[in-house]
Chain A
Amino acid sequence: MASVTLKKVSKRFGNVTAVENVSLEIPDRQFIVLVGPSGCGKTTTLRMVAGLEEITEGEIYIGDRLVNDVPPKDRDIAMVFQNYALYPHMNVYENMAFALKLRKFPKAEIDRRVREAARLLGIEDLLQRKPKALSGGQRQRVAVGRAIVREPKVFLMDEPLSNLDAKLRVQMRAELSKLHNRLQTTVIYVTHDQTEAMTMGDRIVVMKDGKVQQEGAPLEVYERPANMFVAGFIGSPAMNFFRAHLDRAAGELYVDFGSFRLPLPKEMPAWERCREYVGREVVLGLRPEDIDDAELHPEYPADFCVQATVDVVEMMGSEAYLNASLGSFTLVARVEAVTTARDGAPHRLAFNMKKGHLFDPTTTMVIR
């Protein structure tokens, strides 16, 4: 077990900067998730920690040891690859025992560790099988098993669930979290799936274009996004954005959309700073769950409610997503399944402006 520290790490491939000036402190035993869209540099960052990619600039420490020039085999890390990378010419047992054999562990100890890991992952019956005779889920377990027999200081996981079907992914997500609770090892986990990031990580690092956009506890990132990218990337369905004009009338602040306007309540975290933006353009961000069905929520004052046209109602069972149009805007509202909204019909929606986020349209940074 060990902490991992990245100090101003950059990686350039020719003229292309894949990772720029990334600094991270990952404490011992923490499960940290690097999340972002394809090409954001998250996998390159992970590969630099693994030693599979040379670092152009900066320093990487595992524990107190600077590992910039240490080959992967001497970093005491284990990695689970996206395509599992199981050795096709070895059976499951040999795959899991390979690293221990290389380290010249006694046979009995290898056997004990492999069998224990297999038991933990429920793959005891598969030990004599070759990887090609395994299903996707089983391969994934073997890949994890191969990593845990090593009892390494740090686990690196590169999108390990992305090749599984949706149901298995949900199941393995929970199992990996359980495994982490049990093994208490530092984990760096890379994914493009924000749900995985939100549910698995102790802390998440959102990346884009090789740069860290925000890092923090999942809920903190969800509730207090640093910029429009993070706000839009984290959360599903994604946050709604509305470009509007910030106005003041009779001591109150309003966001004016042209055909309608919504008041900014004083409880809004950005209220104080907002006053600087009076008379300027802003972007209002509101999550789908913060737009309610006004019929089901009579507690909303009238000036927080607007008539919208519902384009499509997506019934999810326990809730419904209303895809609606409001003047030139389109939005998604997440409402109770008992809603009476129908496709193509007008419906009143209530905006929970206390939960609204305001962004500067030029810098895309949150106004706070």
Chain B
Amino acid sequence: MKATFQGLNSMYRRIPRKNLQAFGLALARAALLLAYLFPIVWVFLTSIKPPILTVTPKPVWIFQPTLVSYQALFRKYDFGRFISNSLTIAFWSTLITTALSTTAAYALSRHAIRRRDDIAFWILSTRMLPPIASVLPVFILMRTWGLLDTKLSMIVMYSVFNIPLSVWIIKAFMAQLPKELEEAALVDGCSVLRAFTRIALPLSLPGIVAAATLTFILAWNEFTFALVLAQMKAKTFPVAIAGFQAKHGLFLGELSAGAIVGTLPILVVALLLGRYIVAGLTVGALK
């Protein structure tokens, strides 16, 4: 026993301290990753299990994978339509939000508007109200306008709710661009609009892309308004998934398959634009 301990001790001494630290860090990373990925893995496994195995009292880990749940998703529930609705709504609300907030952020970061800081804070303050608090008035408003169960109602609402956050992200990005760049463009022969489109806009692109991605994700995942505003024609995929239940319980396989399909667009966006998102959200954090 003593000999073994000594052996271990000498081995420990032979491993450089730096390597041990790296090993510890890697272990911590792996644990964290597991904690984050486990639910996704579980959902994925459930989505490819034969339906009967999804409701066993003890989880079954060995099984013959099947796409039955995915097939049911598109045949039984017309899931393609919900995805298409969600995509249309997220796309247009992102486009509107980004266009409006880019110009607003430019004005707020560049022009000497009276009470500029108050305006900027007011824009942000609209975000402080929990969305649920405005659900009822919005419902009445949309009913009055005859927009219930239309994609337009959600495009409008998501744009309204996401503009503040988007303005602040883009504003932070534009504020760090040296003003002299646009001044140099003005002297070089640009009009104010051209200095914006040729200089400020391309240079703020990381911030704009970050804001747009975030807007897209928020619109894509939104549940509360979607649940209230669209029950039939314009139903979006999060609301649809929530409906995958029968009297005696949930259709876990189909629900999981729906969740996986619904995650894919976000995954693609995050993989493609992750670099921009980090740059956009950490503006000013480091010199």
A positions within 8 Å CB-CB of B: 50-52, 71-73, 77-79, 81-83, 85-89, 98-99, 102-103, 146, 150
Closest to B189 in A: A102
B138 within 8 A of A: no
6 more contacts with CB within 8 A, not counting A102-B190, A146-B188, A150-B188, are A72-B183, A73-B190, A78-B187, A87-B199, A98-B185, A102-B194
Complex: chain A residue closest to B184, CB-CB: A85
B189 touching A73, Cβ below 8 Å: yes
CB-defined contacts of B194 to chain A, threshold 8 Å: 102
Main SS class of interface, A:
loop
Distance (Å) between the CB of B138 and the closest chain A CB? Answer: 41
Q: Which residue of A lies closest to B180 (CB)?
A: A85
Shortest beta-carbon distance, A88 to chain B, in Å?
7
The docked-state distance in angstroms from the alpha carbon of A78 to that of B189 is: 10
Contact residues of B with A, CB < 8 Å? 178, 180-181, 183-191, 194, 199, 202-203
Complex CA–CA separation, A81 to B181 (angstroms): 9
By a CB distance below 8 angstroms, the chain B residues around A82 are 180
The complex places the Cα of A82 from the Cα of B181 at a distance, in Å, of: 11
Asked whether A73 and B178 contact (CB < 8 A) given A52-B183, A88-B203, the answer is no
Interface class of chain B by DSSP: helix
Residues of A within 8 A of B190 (CB): 73, 102
A83 and B180 within 8 A (CB) = yes
Are A71 and B186 interface neighbours, CB within 8 A? yes
Residues of B within 8 A of A72 (CB): 183, 186-187
Give me 17 A-to-B residue pairs in the complex whose CB atoms sit less than 8 angstroms apart, sorted by A's number.
A51-B186, A52-B183, A52-B187, A71-B186, A72-B186, A73-B190, A73-B191, A81-B184, A85-B183, A88-B203, A89-B202, A89-B203, A98-B185, A99-B188, A102-B189, A102-B194, A146-B188
Q: In the bound complex, do residue A87 and residue B186 qualify as a contact, i.e. CB atoms below 8 Å apart?
A: no
Min CB gap B187→A, angstroms: 5
Query: In the complex, what residues of B have CB within 8 A of residue A52's CB?
Result: 183, 186-187
CB-based nearest A residue for B182: A85
A73 surroundings in chain B (CB, below 8 A): 186-191
Q: Which 8 A-B pairs have the closest CB atoms?
A: A85-B180, A99-B188, A102-B189, A85-B184, A72-B186, A73-B189, A81-B180, A79-B187
Q: What are the residues of chain A within 8 A of B189 when measuring CB–CB?
A: 73, 99, 102-103
